């Protein structure tokens, strides 16, 4: 109501004109300063598997402790024979908010050698249900008894290299046998003291924007999926077989997550006391005899709920592009499987979706803290629209138009997670993101592609500009929007 009133306010109108001028100025600035370095993001940096609900506070820490587990597994037997304990210290933001996120259970699971990609949900839940349980870990001659007590919430303030710092130690009594300082740098990415980014190959195609991609498709007369695969191989150095195996693993993790979510009915963790609803919606959909014109929409929404609720439970998800938006692409993958789209076509869909995500990451942002929810749910929906169009065999123009439409109709979406939990509005937003993706594909596949007015680069640029202009209250602070207006009882 306040917003409607202010739109009619003449004072605000003049402010609006001023803001329009600002936008033009920033647009010029944006065009002049935007990086023209080619995109070199690769699939396994983008689709990361690990426990939700937070890529920085659960996925990153589990990847860190699993990395430490792998490192100490390679130590000489004589060194391991002396070891008596393993300890992980959480600092900064990980210590301040890690309890609520479940950072300690994710870190313990990784330390116990559970792979972030396929740690069973039951194992993670077991740690929460039995917080005092000891777990036996054998590495070579070393024998450890580990529990949540070995994950220590250490100093919140201090002169840390990064706000999400962790230290992992292998000890013999008080003596440190091996130690490494790690950083969970966001998006599930991890680094450590002395980290050097992996060397990448030279991209076969120099792509900064969607228009570059379009030019190569026309000039080289090459199908989109083939171009994207060649690009991935050139940058990552991986073979086609390795890339396809990775995409198959991503598919399986997503499908498993949706299936788990459809079977599970629980109150989700945290202060909101939110009841999950994927299982209810799916069950009611299948038991009703009456005609339901929205059947397909309800089905895909239930899939998105299922995966997003799994994220809220701290179970294994795939960032696509983030943990908060992790329900969208799995819903689409499951729906594509329902209509018997082959795994090869789904792999091609993943390549197209990643290309859209890369363009958004390169020219705007994927972070709710930087750009609001348009950067997470909006990009996820755009990626999903491209995936559907590619997987069902549409040409690149339709793929691009579908992606553009889905992103366009999320522009300006704010990030306002209630109580700081990735639940309200995030879970339902995944459902709407998936449905909008399918709508965008439907429109793009039936319109005359050449008459689609807005191109993808323009919309990505609009997202970047909107992100810059967005009030910081709406960037993952939980100080605005629903987070401010919803009163929790």
Q: Which residues bind ligand SF4 (CB under 6 A)?
A: 324-325, 368, 373, 376-377, 415-417, 422, 425-426, 429, 476
Phi first, then psi: what are they for 237, rounded to 5°?
75, 10
Based on CB atoms, which residue is closest to ligand SF4, 39 or 422? Answer: 422
C-alpha span between 470 and 22 (Å, rounded)? 13
Least spacing, CB of residue 293 vs ligand SF4, in Å: 29
Based on CB atoms, which residue is closest to ligand SF4, 88 or 306? Answer: 306
Least spacing, CB of residue 361 vs ligand SF4, in Å: 15
Based on CB atoms, which residue is closest to ligand SF4, 28 or 469? Answer: 469
Based on CB atoms, which residue is closest to ligand SF4, 379 or 388? Answer: 379
Running DSSP on this structure, what letter comes out for residue 197?
A: P
Give the other-Cβ count within 10 Å of 297's Cβ. 15
Least spacing, CB of residue 193 vs ligand SF4, in Å: 30
SS3 271: coil
Based on CB atoms, which residue is closest to ligand SF4, 309 or 476? Answer: 476
Based on CB atoms, which residue is closest to ligand SF4, 391 or 462? Answer: 462
DSSP string, 453-468: -S-HHHHHHHHHHHHH
CA-based nearest residue to 406, from 438, 429, 371: 438
C-alpha span between 74 and 141 (Å, rounded)? 12
Give the other-Cβ count within 10 Å of 161's Cβ. 14
SS3 184: strand
Based on CB atoms, which residue is closest to ligand SF4, 112 or 406? Answer: 406
Least spacing, CB of residue 87 vs ligand SF4, in Å: 31
C-alpha span between 32 and 358 (Å, rounded)? 20
Least spacing, CB of residue 459 vs ligand SF4, in Å: 18
Based on CB atoms, which residue is closest to ligand SF4, 148 or 377? Answer: 377
Check: CB of residue 206 under 8 Å from CB of residue 212.
Answer: yes
Least spacing, CB of residue 306 vs ligand SF4, in Å: 16
15 HSE (CA, 13 A, CB side): 7
Based on CB atoms, which residue is closest to ligand SF4, 376 or 404? Answer: 376
Least spacing, CB of residue 96 vs ligand SF4, in Å: 17
Report helix angle 377-391 to 328-338, nearest 10: 20
Running DSSP on this structure, what letter comes out for residue 473?
A: G
Least spacing, CB of residue 217 vs ligand SF4, in Å: 31
Least spacing, CB of residue 260 vs ligand SF4, in Å: 20
Give the other-Cβ count within 10 Å of 292's Cβ. 13
Task: Please count the residues of the chain.
Answer: 489
Least spacing, CB of residue 476 vs ligand SF4, in Å: 5
C-alpha span between 73 and 68 (Å, rounded)? 8
β-strand pairing of 49-51 with 316-318: antiparallel
Based on CB atoms, which residue is closest to ligand SF4, 254 or 422? Answer: 422
200: tokens are: 């990448």
Residues 440/441/445/448 CA torsion (nearest 10 deg): 30
């Amino acid at each position: 109501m306040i917003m409607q009133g202010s739109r009619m306010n003449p004072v605000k109108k003049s402010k609006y004109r001023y803001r329009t001028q600002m936008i033009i100025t920033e647009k010029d600035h944006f065009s002049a300063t935007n990086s023209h370095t080619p995109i070199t993001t690769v699939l396994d940096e983008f689709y990361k598997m690990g426990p939700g609900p937070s890529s920085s506070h659960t996925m990153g820490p589990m990847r860190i402790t699993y990395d430490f587990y792998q490192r100490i597994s390679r130590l000489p037997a004589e060194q391991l024979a002396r070891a008596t304990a393993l300890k992980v210290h959480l600092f900064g933001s990980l210590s301040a908010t890690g309890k609520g996120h479940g950072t300690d259970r994710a870190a313990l699971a990784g330390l116990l050698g559970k792979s972030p990609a396929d740690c069973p949900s039951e194992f993670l839940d077991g740690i929460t249900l039995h917080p005092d349980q000891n777990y036996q870990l054998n590495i070579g001659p070393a024998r450890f008894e580990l529990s949540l007590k070995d994950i220590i919430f250490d100093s919140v303030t201090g002169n840390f290299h990064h706000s999400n710092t962790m230290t992992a130690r292998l000890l013999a009594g008080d003596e440190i046998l091996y130690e490494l300082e790690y950083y969970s740098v966001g998006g599930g990415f991890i680094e450590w003291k002395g980290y050097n980014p992996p060397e990448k190959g030279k991209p076969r195609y120099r792509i900064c924007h969607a228009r570059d991609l379009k030019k190569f498709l026309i000039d080289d007369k090459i199908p989109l999926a083939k171009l994207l695969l060649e690009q991935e191989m050139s940058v990552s150095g991986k073979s086609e077989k390795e890339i396809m195996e990775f995409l198959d693993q991503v598919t399986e993790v997503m499908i498993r997550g949706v299936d788990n979510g459809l079977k599970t009915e629980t109150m989700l963790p945290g202060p909101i006391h939110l009841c999950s609803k994927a299982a209810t919606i799916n069950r009611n959909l299948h038991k009703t005899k009456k005609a339901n014109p929205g059947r397909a929409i309800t089905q895909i929404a239930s899939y998105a709920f299922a995966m997003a609720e799994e994220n809220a439970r701290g179970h294994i998800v795939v960032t696509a592009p983030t943990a908060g938006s992790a329900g969208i692409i799995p819903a689409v993958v499951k729906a594509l499987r329902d209509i018997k789209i082959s795994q090869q076509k789904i792999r091609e869909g993943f390549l197209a979706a990643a290309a859209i995500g890369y363009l958004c990451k390169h020219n705007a942002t994927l972070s709710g803290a930087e750009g609001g929810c348009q950067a997470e749910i909006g990009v996820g929906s755009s990626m999903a629209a491209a995936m559907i169009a590619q997987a069902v065999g549409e040409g690149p123009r339709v793929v691009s138009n579908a992606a553009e439409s889905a992103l366009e109709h999320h522009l300006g979406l704010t990030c306002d997670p209630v109580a700081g939990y990735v639940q309200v509005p995030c879970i339902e937003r995944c459902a709407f993101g998936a449905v909008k993706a399918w709508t965008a594909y439907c429109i793009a596949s039936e319109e005359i592609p050449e008459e689609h007015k807005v191109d993808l680069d323009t919309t990505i640029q609009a997202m970047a500009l909107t992100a810059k202009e967005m009030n910081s209250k709406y960037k993952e602070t939980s100080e605005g929007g629903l987070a401010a207006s919803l009163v929790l009882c």
